[in-house]
Amino acid sequence: MEAGDSQRKNQLGQPIGPPIPDWTPPRFPECETIEGQHSMLEPLNPEQHAQALFDAFGQDTDGRNWTYLPYGPFDSFDQFNDWLVEIAAGDDPQFYTVIPTETGKPAGLASYLRINPPLGMIEVGHIHFAESIKRSPITTEAMFLMMRKAFELGYRRYEWKCDSLNSPSRVAAERLGFKYEGTFRQAFVYKGRSRDSAWFSLIDSEWPAAKAAFENWLSPNNFDTAGIQLTPLRVRSS
């Protein structure tokens, strides 16, 4: 925001926000395959993805990866598949399967949700990665690919929300360049308990710096022969 914008007033002398003279609401995202060098995001297809996802998520033997999600763990494949069929039928949330390019085997889920083109807002959530791809370029790139698509469509605000007690999710949000905005107390009830929700966002003016940081980090030159990063991801938003 320009320094003078904070003093902008309407004809009644009330302070108002900066103008957006060329604002055109973005279109609703098409659910289509998004490809990267480490990962590919395919629209969730239970017939093609269910068994591989069930097997991949089964690496989490004590179910801790489901603790902060409003569903799961699932006791059987049939139960899991029924859930996938249900969520794949809608367009908000819009679910994607995360597939490592090296193996071609589904190993994660993520979605857009609370998609609001008229307001220029979109959220990423329902993120669930198998143990085999956690803390890898696969997951970071998958988040980057979804973020890039949203901003290229013209969304102004990209949101991340999580249970305020979910430390790994909070750390991940800040590593990816999201800014903490506050906590909504008693946001809702799930799994028989109360949840306070921590809110994070990345906005369009911060996107160019974030995009450059992701591209630098994902460069092949940033990884040794064992695939270990040489320089950590450092997203510096404006």
Percentage of residues of the chain with pLDDT beyond 90 = 87
Counting residues of the chain whose pLDDT is more than 70, the rounded percentage is 96
Residue linked to tokens 């799961």: 72
Give the mean pLDDT of 115-140.
Answer: 96
**232 close to 223: Cβ distance less than 8 angstroms:** no
pLDDT at 52 over 50: yes
168: which residues sit within 8 A by CB, 6+ positions away? none
CA distance 146 to 198: 20
Own/partner contacts of 172-181, CB < 8 Å, gap of 24 or more, are 173/198, 173/200, 174/200, 175/233, 175/235, 176/140, 176/143, 176/144, 176/147, 176/202, 176/233, 176/235, 177/202, 177/206, 177/210, 177/213, 177/235, 177/237, 178/202, 179/206, 179/237
Q: What tens digit of pLDDT does each residue of 192-217 get? A: 999 999 999 999 999 999 999 999 99
Is the preceding peptide bond at 73 cis, omega within 30 degrees of 0?
yes
CA separation for the pair 197, 217 (Å, rounded) = 29
**What DSSP state is assigned to residue 15?**
B
Show the tokens assigned to 133.
């791809």
Q: Which two tokens stand for residue 57?
A: 């998520």
Predicted local distance difference test score (pLDDT) of residue 1:
45
Which region among 5-9, 34-38, 115-119 has the lowest average model confidence (pLDDT)? 5-9
Model confidence at 91: pLDDT above 50 = yes
pLDDT at 224 over 90: no
Average the pLDDT over 109-134 and give the result: 97
**DSSP E strand stretches across 64-190:** 94-100, 108-116, 121-129, 157-163, 179-190
Q: Is the pLDDT of residue 154 over 70?
A: yes
Question: In terms of pTM, does the model score above 0.75?
Answer: yes
198 sits in which H/E element: strand 193-203
DSSP count for the chain of H helices, then E strands: 5, 8
Distance CA 195, CA 180 (A): 17
Tokens for 154, please give them. 């013209």
Q: What is the pLDDT of residue 202?
A: 98
User: Tell me, what's the pLDDT at 230?
Assistant: 86
For position 234, what pLDDT does the model report? 84
The answer to which of 2-11, 32-41, 54-63 has the lowest mean pLDDT is 2-11
Report the pLDDT value the prediction gives residue 47, as an integer from 0 to 100.
Answer: 97
The DSSP secondary-structure symbol of 26 reads P
Among residues 161, 119, 162, 146, the alpha carbon closest in space to that of 211 is found at 146
pLDDT for 102 beyond 80 = yes
pLDDT at residue 122 greater than cutoff 70? yes
Locate 164 and state its tokens: 């305020």
Q: Provide the pLDDT for residue 3.
A: 47
Mean pLDDT of the chain: 94
* Confidence tier at 7 by pLDDT (50, 70, 90): confident
pLDDT of the residue at 113: 98
Domains in the chain, CATH or no CATH each: 29-222 (3.40.630.30)
